[in-house]
Structure 1
């Protein structure tokens, strides 16, 4: 690999590392009494304020491009679902179910962009769904069914992220700063709304705020996500879409190795085989992307 390509690849690898290890500080905060909904709200509100101060004109894009509000909602729900799921569920299982997103992207692009799937694309979808069946099937359940809130959140987060990817394609003519503020603002707003609703209905207990104990972790996550976003923008702008997608799949490796090593996940042969099929489908989807044929690239990370 020549030097001009090495730096972008390392940048994307750093972004994958950030998201592959994000479950750990999220769980540390959860153990200290801060639910991932409130953590997401704190982190993304801090980042959103920073971006707004840096680019105060970014919000003007919403006046000319109202579809940015849909991007705000889809991106925000992606972060809410992923962070909640990876904090409370089996990390490997959550990440693999989240990576069903290429299948969602295929269906949404068919519906919203009019991109009819090819036979090869449908075959990749069947391959991914076969992997999901293996991941969902547990020894205690006779059928491969969703059996926890974390499973539901992971699948919904993948769906919302696929929608985010499709919306980004539709909004590629809008200012980049407006898309960024929409996505970080969405993480802040959706997390705040979901946390307030969950707490008012008794799903979440009343928070006893321990700011002194929490702020180092919140600051760490905020900086990590901002750095991850910056290096993603750097790397994705200098590499092809399929190369970006393949490098970003390293998140599965980082999340799996770290969570299994620290006892946050159990890796059985069935989950490993199912995960392999899902990752293989994602790799094939990234290889099949051609920027000249109108195909949708495989999305990268929740805070793209």
Structure 2
């Protein structure tokens, strides 16, 4: 198998993991572990593993304090996405999350000084029209977010765009330091949000059964998710380093397909014509945005 083909498969694996992550998250939620606590457990375990694999990654935080911003943005991305995809309609959540290119356009204008082109503004308008269709329902007089999961999905996509901006600004740092920042951010932000949500009565500390019984039920899922997210991140790093930016973005959009097909098949989503048409507009805007990137030569 050629290296480009292997790189595409690696990116598809990353998209598959994230596209199907809603299912184990919901299983744990049914078993009594709130998605915030699930995210905290999964990313804490992954951070410990990464720290053993590459302990030098922590050293760069003192030299590059901006890594703390990457940590916060990445952590809030996972909090928003995992909570939303567990409690909301999976297709709506994933589509709203993939407004990320729209946020990237605005954030790059603000933080990087990259003025948007006429084509970029056209893609922005296309994506926003898609959002209106996705959010609009017969019961809603205005296309506003319907519930917490909609808001979380939009917040997660915004933070994902911010994460990518910080990754661009920190590309001179080591890969290990960026990975540790992203995974430790998932752990830290999830723990903070879980504690606040628990104190507010939104999430429970420990449900009806004993801690020991719950741990036996939760552990296989938590271990599996931690391993899957670690493998998917390594796959993303491998694939993105060997393919052009627009190819990477197009392959990553397959997450929408994996999430939509699996959730509709298992009854976790309802695919209406509005969601289908609006989602198509959002995906098209994202694909057009990916084509606007200047490709790079694959790594030999």
Instruction: Bin the TM-score by the shorter chain.
Output: over 0.9
How far 1:180 moved relative to its partner? 0.6
Q: Are the aligned partners of 2:51 and 2:57 in contact in 1 as well (CA < 8 Å)?
A: yes
Q: Distance in 2 between matches of 1:223 and 1:111?
A: 36
TM-score by length of 2: 0.95
The answer to whether the aligner puts 1:280 opposite 2:268 as a matched pair is: no
Q: Deviations over 1:155-207 (max 9, x none)?
A: 00000010000011111001111111000000000000000111012122232
- Could you say which residue in structure 2 is the equivalent of 1:177? 176
- Give the structure 1 partner of residue 162 of structure 2: 163
Displacement of 1:36 in angstroms is 0.4
Secondary structure, counterpart of 2:140 in structure 1: coil
Kindly report which structure 2 residues correspond to 1:1-304, keeping only aligned pairs within 5 A, or say none: 3-208=2-207, 209=211, 210-290=214-294
Segment drifting more, 229-238 vs 261-270: 229-238
State the number of aligned residues.
Answer: 291
Moved runs in structure 1, 4+ residues, more than 3 A?
none
**Matched residues in 1 for 2:274 and 2:112: separation?**
35
Give the Cα separation in 1 of the matches to 2:25 and 2:201.
21
Deviation per CA, 1:85-141: give whole Å up to 9, x if none. 000000000000000010000000000000000000000000000000000001111
How far apart, CA to CA, are the structure 1 residues paired with 2:164 and 2:3? 27
User: Cα offset for 1:82?
Assistant: 0.2
| Alignment partners' CA distance in 1, 2:103 and 2:295 | 19
Whole-angstrom CA distance in 1 between matches of 2:260 and 2:134: 14
Q: Which runs of 5+ in 1 are unaligned?
A: 293-304
CA RMSD in angstroms comes to: 1.0
- Per-residue CA distance 1:227-258 (angstroms, 9 max, x = gap): 10111111111110100000000000000000
Question: What displacement does 1:291 show?
Answer: 5.1
Q: Residue deviations 1:258-296, cap 9 Å, x none?
A: 00000000000110000000000000000011158xxxx
User: Cα offset for 1:213?
Assistant: 0.5
